[in-house]
Amino acid sequence: MIVIFDLDGTLLNTIDDLGYACNYALEKTGYPTYPIEAYPAKVGNGINNLIRRALPETERTEENILRVRAYFVPYYDAHNCDFTRPYEGISDVLAELKAAGHLLAVASNKYQAATEKIVHHFFPGVFDVILGEREGIERKPNPQIVFDIIQSIQNNQKTQILYIGDSLVDFETARNADVPFVACSWGFVAREKLVDAGIAHIIDQPEEILHCV
């Protein structure tokens, strides 16, 4: 089986590093900052959308987003592993999946360079494919990232796919790609929202992943 994981809110709790990077960039460009606790409601759909949500409503132009991003990216590149940590039990689950012969992939809306750096830092040698946001390719919920993962895994007879994520964007991505989806409730989206979205399979602990494959 090919098991595809979202990154932020699924494998890793990245919210502190994202929040500090965004606050740094906002401060540098003269905008108000937020408590870190406010950032789970602002993440999703990539860095530009995080910045868009963090900007005052009247300032959400593409020019301003790019101006803030110019400070965000270098800071985040230097600090994206400061407070980020795997969710408890995730590393053990990945090891068991790997030992059982499953192929593992990451599908993230975080830009590619940061996605690769963080995954290699916390999960060295674990994932067969690591894909983030790439120029010229629409981000999730466009299903292209799922198709690219499947296509990039060569010489295998494993046709079953499972997508695991914490957000409604992940749910939509899996639905658009027509692959089975399991939502995890330990991420950035409240369980009630996952239930209200009509998601059939929701798990509350990482070890439950082993019962889904």
Cα-flanking dihedrals φ and ψ of residue 186, to 5°? -90, 0
Same domain, 65 and 101: no
Q: Which of 79, 107, 132 is the last residue of a domain?
A: 79
Same domain, 141 and 184: yes
Same domain, 93 and 196: yes
Compute the residue count for the chain.
Answer: 213
What pTM does this model have? Answer: 0.93
Same domain, 53 and 150: no
What distance in Å separates the CA atoms of residue 187 and residue 55, rounded to the nearest whole number? 23
Q: Which of 79, 108, 132 is the last residue of a domain?
A: 79
Q: 47-54 vs 62-79: helix axis angle to the nearest 10?
A: 120
Q: What domain count does the chain have?
A: 2
What distance in Å separates the CA atoms of residue 1 and residue 5, rounded to the nearest whole number? 13
Same domain, 8 and 22: no
pLDDT (tens digit per residue) in 141-188: 999 999 999 998 865 555 799 999 999 999 999 999 999 999 999 999
What pLDDT shows up at residue 32? 98
Rg of the chain (C-alpha set): 17
Same domain, 141 and 206: yes
What pLDDT shows up at residue 157? 56
The DSSP letter of residue 32 is: -
pLDDT (tens digit per residue) in 40-70: 999 988 899 999 999 999 999 999 999 999 9
75 Cβ contact partners less than 8 Å away, ≥ 6 residues apart: 20, 21, 24, 25
* Sequence letter at residue 98: K
Give the other-Cβ count within 10 Å of 211's Cβ.
Answer: 8
Domain extent for 44: 15-79
Average pLDDT, the chain: 95
* Sequence letter at residue 188: F
* Sequence letter at residue 41: A
Same domain, 96 and 147: yes
pLDDT (tens digit per residue) in 77-132: 999 999 999 999 999 999 999 999 999 999 999 999 999 999 999 999 999 999 99
Same domain, 95 and 26: no
- Residue 129 bridge partners (DSSP): 105
What distance in Å separates the CA atoms of residue 82 and residue 117, rounded to the nearest whole number? 13
**For residue 175, what are its two tokens?**
């639905």
Same domain, 127 and 137: yes
- Residue 130 bridge partners (DSSP): 106
Give the SS3 label for residue 45. Answer: coil
Q: 144-152 vs 168-177: helix axis angle to the nearest 10?
A: 60
